[in-house]
Structure 1
Amino acid sequence: MGPPGSGKGTQCDRLATRMGLRHLSTGELLRSEVAAGSELGRRVATTMVSGSLVPDELIVDVVLTRVAAAVGAGYLLDGFPRSSSQAHALLDGPVPPDRVIVLEVAGNELVRRMLARAAIEGRADDTAEIIAHRLAVYRESVLPVVEILAARGPVTRIDAGRAPDVVAAEITAALETE
């Protein structure tokens, strides 16, 4: 878990490859649905472009279906849960998480990263105005979710404002000691 631009996708990709886990990125999943023009994609497109959270009733079933499919391999969630109802659905779902890693990065660094990503990837949800909204949504909606998850299992906070290799090494060390 972590705010937009904290490196969740980068670190999940590394861990998935190293540990043979499935990387379940809700952002990538939803962007692919929008690109495919699916019913789900049409329903969430406007919400995503505005930087708001996709309604729980749409995302919970999609994610939990993929979590259940990853039972044998294990999974890494990226961008889920983002609300208390999503957290409870995950914790009460078919395969609750073993642990939670929270990536923490200073706000000015997050903005710098997302604007750089926008220049490279051309993502419509990485404008200065939408970035500010997404960070506010994270603080208001997602940070309380960490406390819900912490009540049920280990949560490790990692300073992700450092080089990706350093962050990856710290995540790996945390997973090996818990």
Structure 2
Amino acid sequence: MKRIFVIIAFLGLAISAAAQDVQSCRSVRLRFFSSAPLEDIEAVSTLGVSAINPATRVIYFKVPITSFQFKKKMMQEHFNENYLESEKYPYAEFKGKVLGTTDLTKDGTWPAEVEGDLQIHGVTKSYRVSGTITVSGGNLAAEAKFNVRVADHNIKIPSLVVKNIAEVVEVTMSAQYQPAVKP
């Protein structure tokens, strides 16, 4: 029994030490922009969350689909009900890793490539995204811009509105990380 307690205590310390390296952001800004012949569509969310571990280079994002705000209420309704089906698929999620050998614990602004899986509308697809990571005083900030082909995530665009919605949507992300709260 004493041996089990020692093993559990050791695992707790190891997990606690690893968690101290993690930085998180509870207000990731995500913007998507669709430019089509008849109209441009833009939506923004600041309710995404993210975590990054500079030591392991693992990065994670999650955003509620319903948190995207549009200029026109009707666009927001169609987006959630008809295209992204947010009741059935409430979140978009990315799990990946920062590539390369840049030391993410040293101050500076670094070009970064991230590779991982993006799940939208219940469909997961691999992406390789270029961006920038800035380290200042030990805190990280990340920015990226990439394209998502809606058909790759099984998002159907009715032929009636095909000239209103682009086949490829530009996604812009920015996050300001803070060290995780120590237990």
Structure 1 or 2: larger helix share? 1
Relative contact order (alpha carbons < 8 A, sep ≥ 6): 1 or 2 greater? 1
Q: TM-score range by the shorter chain?
A: under 0.3
Question: Which structure has the larger Rg over C-alpha atoms?
Answer: 2
Structure 1 or 2: larger strand share? 2
